[in-house]
Amino acid sequence: MNRTQIINHLTRERSYADYLEIGIGDGQNFRSIQCVRKTAVDPNRPTTFQMTSDQFFAANKQAFDIIFIDGLHYANQVLRDIQNALRSLKTGGVVVCHDLNPQSEEMQKVPRTQMEWTGDCWRAWVQFRSQCPYEMYVLDCDYGVGIIDAQYAAKYAFVCPDLDLLTYNNFDIQRIGWLNLREPAQWLNSAPPPALRKVL
C-alpha cells in the first residue's frame, strides 16, 4: 500500500468529504485523492493556498475530515503541523503523516544529504505520542504512513524518551514500539482493535 491508497481507503470507508493536504510535491497524490472537496497548501507550488502551513493554519476557519501532512520534513515543523491539523479536524476525523520510518541514518539527516530522504519527521511523531489522547500508529509501507485516529482514544499511555535519547541509533532499535508500527495488510483487513474506546 502507499499513502494514496491509505487515504482513499479511509475516505471511502468513513464517507469523508473534506480533505486537506499540506505539501503537494509533484501533485500526483493530491490529484488521485477521491474526496468531494479538496484543499492543498504549499508555499512552492501553485495550488489552492500558495503559502506556508503556518500561515494557512493561522488564518484557517474551515474544518476537515482528513488531513495529510507531507510538508517541510523537519521535526519542529511536523510537530506544529500535527498540532494545527488536530485543531482543524472535524470530530472523528483522521490526520495522516508521511515519511515516519526512515531506513538509514542518512535518509533522515537534516539538512538533506541525499535524494531518498524522509527528514526527521519520526522525532515529531515520537514526541507527540506522549501528549496525544487519540490512537496513533504507523503503517509499515511507503516510508512509514502514520495515522492519528480521532475516532478512538489511545490504547495505552506512551512516554517519550528524553530528547537527548531521540537519536537514530536508538530509533533503529526501538522503532516498532516508538512508532507503534503495524503491517498494512493487517490494518486493511481488520476492524479497530476491541480494546480501543471510541471517543465521544
Domain at 3-188, CATH from 3.20.20.70, 3.40.50.150, 3.40.50.1360, 3.90.1150.10: 3.40.50.150
Residue 191: per-residue pLDDT = 54
Average pLDDT along the chain: 94
59/79 Cα distance (integer angstroms): 18
pLDDT of 198 strictly over 90: no
The residue behind cell 499513502 is 3
Can you tell me the mean pLDDT for 183-199? 64
* pLDDT higher than 50, residue 154: yes
Query: Average of pLDDT values for 76-101?
Result: 98
The answer to whether 101 touches 143, Cβ cutoff 8 Å, is yes
- Answer whether 148's CB lies under 8 Å from 124's CB: no
pLDDT band at 195 (very low <50, low <70, confident <90, very high): very low
Look at the alpha carbons of 127, 174, 137, 115 in this order and tell me if their dihedral is positive or negative. positive
CA separation (Å) from 117 to 72, 98, 103, 112, 143?
Answer: 12, 11, 10, 7, 9
Strands 145-153 and 134-139: antiparallel
Q: How many Å apart are CA 111 and CA 2, to the nearest integer? A: 25
CA-to-CA distance for 22 and 40, rounded, in angstroms? 6
DSSP state of 15: T
pTM higher than the cut 0.85: yes
Mean pLDDT in residue range 111-124: 96
Q: How far apart are CA 18 and CA 82, in angstroms?
A: 17
Where exactly are the structural domains of the chain? 3-188
Contact partners, residue 140, CB within 8 Å, separation at least 6: 101, 181, 182, 183, 184
Phi first, then psi: give them for residue 83, nearest 5 degrees.
-60, -45
Preceding peptide of 111 cis, ω within 30°: yes
Percentage of the chain with pLDDT > 70?
95
